[in-house]
């Protein structure tokens, strides 16, 4: 039996896969029979030996990896293709969004972006009393989890405080579901303390939402140029609404540095830029295939109805393994702990950002890719996600934030740092609010907490339920991401993060007027 036939048979007989998961696996096997987009021999070798990784996107990219429709426009105009009129009330609006979600592709086959749901639904909720609003949004939230069972499916709230936003935080806290993943866009001048307090109550209970530094991200996606705004999707990815990312390819900095023969300055000046050049070559080839051969943007009703614009799509140049690269280049030091090691990490990131910004990539927004701190995949071994401090070696949350904040602004398309916090913070969720304010004031682009002991376990940007992980080891489970989470728990020691007692550690970040 040929290898591809054997793989197909294994997929359809695997008792740990649902019917839909089997069909996706079969489609991936079929795509793997095609040749990947043509690149140079050096880039091909880098993909083959793990210096570069295409994150299992497949050999023939036929849809964007991350796609962010302009749902606000859809609610105004309806959809000719889907034969939907503009909604007149809350039920109509939810029905339109629900239908549209099932026609939004991504790398996972599920939508990675559900929109700024508070802003989208608030205008339709004015005539609805609290009891009905709670019941309606509870049904909506439950429907999302049951029909889009993928933990990379992501909704946004904020930055404005709103009745719908608060109710969604309450519903999310009550249901404790994996889906949807959730981000609060927080602005210290616009959001208000009450909204952040509501959010940290949810974080303490269910480990979400994670919190985005709205003023910092808005500076990268100014309203005058991006009138539909930006969205946070999948694993901490910040991208323009009405666009998205064609592709995401990543460079393993641990392997890059380990191959270097010479000093730090030579690595920064020559080896790292050369490896980034290979990364951007692969990205360019994948973008060209998607746009010119698969011609996704020529056929999608999302384009013809103005919900996405091909010219608002970028590509994401991911890096990971900063900690291991520093250890290789500067033996005997610990990134995130020793000042000289942490500074070298910042320099690596800055060089990567400048190379990406200076290298044209045809078919992308501004003819450039965007730098991304890639948050790892489940079978990564002995390499740390993105620019994080290694699992189990995390300093206290304040020191962690101060170590990584100086390079967050370079990661235009997102960065993923997780601050582990001991479970007693549930008795003092205000400490999380103080930490969030301080971390963002220090320059963190996005802040995510992992509160020890939650039923929802934060893996990277996505989450899994502890009970689902145990079931997935012997039987099929509904959520497509659970198997990835189980593998990450085994390979990355996710449950061994250095959760810290918060208490006085918040003192350096205490806002004026607070002890």
- Tokens 């614009």 belong to 309
Query: The dihedral of CA 285, 288, 294, 296: what is its sign?
Result: positive
Q: What is the pLDDT of residues 336-358, one digit of tens each?
A: 999 999 999 999 999 999 999 99
* Pairwise CA distance, residues 461 & 449, whole Å: 11
* Pairwise CA distance, residues 170 & 189, whole Å: 23
Q: What is the pLDDT of residues 277-309, one digit of tens each?
A: 999 999 999 999 999 999 999 999 999 999 999
* Pairwise CA distance, residues 202 & 196, whole Å: 10
What 3-state DSSP class applies to 413?
coil
Q: What is the pLDDT of residues 107-134, one digit of tens each?
A: 999 999 999 999 999 999 999 999 999 9
Give the rounded distance of the alpha carbon of 313 from its chain centre: 16
Contact 433, 402 (CB under 8 A): no
Q: What is the pLDDT of residues 166-211, one digit of tens each?
A: 999 999 999 999 999 999 999 999 999 999 999 999 999 999 999 9
Please tell me the chain's helix, strand, coil percentages from 3-state DSSP, rounded to the nearest 5.
50, 15, 40
Number of helices (H) and strands (E) in the chain: give both, helices first.
21, 15
Which pLDDT score is estimated for 492? 61
By the 10 Å C-beta count (0-12 exposed, 13-18 middle, 19+ buried), 298 is classed as: exposed
Look at 130-139, 198-207, 423-432 and tell me which has the smallest mean pLDDT: 423-432
Give backbone dihedrals phi and psi of 106, rounded to 5 degrees, phi first.
-165, -175
Q: What is the pLDDT of residues 28-38, one digit of tens each?
A: 999 989 999 99
* Pairwise CA distance, residues 150 & 461, whole Å: 12
- 497 versus 108: which is more confidently predicted? 108
Omega before 305 within 30 of 0, i.e. cis: no
Q: Which helix (H) or strand (E) holds 247?
A: strand 243-252
pLDDT over threshold 90, residue 490? no
Q: How many residues does the chain have?
A: 515
Q: What is the pLDDT of residues 390-401, one digit of tens each?
A: 998 999 999 999
* Pairwise CA distance, residues 371 & 141, whole Å: 32
Residue 343, number of CB atoms within 10 A of its CB? 15
Mean pLDDT of 53-60: 93
Q: How does the average pLDDT of the chain come out, rounded?
A: 92
**Maximum Cα interatomic distance, the chain, rounded to a whole number of Å:** 72
- Grade residue 515 by pLDDT with cuts at 50, 70 and 90: very low
Give backbone dihedrals phi and psi of 210, rounded to 5 degrees, phi first.
-90, 160
Using N-to-C axis directions, what is the helix angle for 90-101 and 130-147, rounded to 10°? 10
Give the best-scoring range by mean pLDDT among 319-323, 429-433, 500-504: 319-323
pLDDT over threshold 50, residue 512? no
């Amino acid at each position: 039996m040929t290898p591809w036939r054997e793989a197909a048979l294994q997929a359809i007989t695997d008792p740990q896969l649902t019917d839909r998961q089997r069909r996706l696996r079969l489609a991936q096997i079929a795509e793997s029979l095609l040749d990947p987009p043509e690149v140079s021999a050096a880039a091909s070798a880098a993909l083959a030996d793990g210096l570069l990784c295409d994150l299992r996107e497949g050999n023939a990219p036929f849809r964007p990896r991350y796609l962010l429709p302009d749902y606000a426009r859809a609610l105004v105009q309806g959809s000719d293709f889907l034969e939907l009129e503009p909604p007149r009330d809350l039920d109509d609006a939810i029905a339109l969004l629900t239908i549209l979600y099932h026609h939004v592709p991504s790398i996972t086959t599920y939508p990675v972006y559900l929109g700024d749901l508070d802003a989208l639904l608030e205008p339709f909720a004015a005539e609805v009393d609290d009891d009905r609003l709670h019941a309606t949004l509870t049904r909506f939230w439950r429907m999302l989890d049951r029909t889009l069972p993928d933990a990379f499916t992501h909704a946004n709230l904020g930055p404005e405080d709103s009745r719908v936003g608060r109710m969604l935080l309450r519903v999310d806290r009550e249901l404790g579901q994996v889906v949807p993943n959730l981000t609060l866009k927080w602005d210290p001048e616009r959001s208000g303390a009450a909204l952040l307090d509501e959010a940290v109550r949810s974080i303490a209970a269910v480990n979400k939402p994670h919190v985005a530094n709205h003023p910092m991200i808005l500076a990268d996606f100014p309203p005058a140029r991006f009138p539909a705004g930006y969205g946070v999707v999948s694993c901490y990815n910040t991208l323009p609404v009405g666009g998205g990312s064609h592709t995401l390819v990543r460079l393993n900095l641990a392997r890059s540095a380990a191959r270097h023969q010479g000093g730090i300055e030579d690595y920064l000046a020559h080896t790292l830029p050369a490896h980034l050049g290979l990364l951007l070559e692969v990205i360019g080839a994948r973008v060209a295939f998607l746009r010119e051969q698969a011609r996704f943007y020529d056929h999608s009703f999302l384009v013809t109805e103005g919900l996405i614009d091909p010219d608002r799509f970028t590509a994401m140049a991911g890096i990971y393994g900063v900690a291991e690269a520093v250890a290789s280049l500067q033996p005997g030091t610990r990134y995130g702990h020793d000042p000289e090691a942490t500074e070298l990490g910042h320099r690596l990131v800055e060089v990567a950002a400048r190379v990406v910004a200076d290298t044209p990539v045809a078919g992308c927004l501004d003819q450039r890719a965007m730098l991304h701190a890639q948050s790892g995949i489940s079978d990564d071994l002995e390499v740390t996600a993105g620019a994080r401090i290694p699992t189990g070696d995390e300093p206290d949350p304040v020191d962690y934030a101060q170590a990584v904040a100086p390079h967050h602004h370079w990661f235009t398309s997102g960065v993923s740092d997780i601050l582990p916090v001991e479970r007693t913070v549930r008795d003092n969720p205000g400490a999380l609010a103080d930490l969030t304010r301080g971390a963002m004031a220090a320059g963190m682009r996005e802040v995510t907490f992992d509160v020890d002991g939650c039923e929802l376990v934060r893996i990277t940007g996505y989450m899994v339920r502890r009970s689902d992980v145990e079931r997935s080891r012997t039987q099929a489970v509904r959520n497509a991401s659970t198997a990835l989470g189980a593998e990450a728990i085994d390979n990355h020691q996710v449950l061994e993060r250095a959760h810290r007692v918060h208490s006085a550690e918040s003192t350096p970040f205490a806002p004026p007027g607070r002890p």
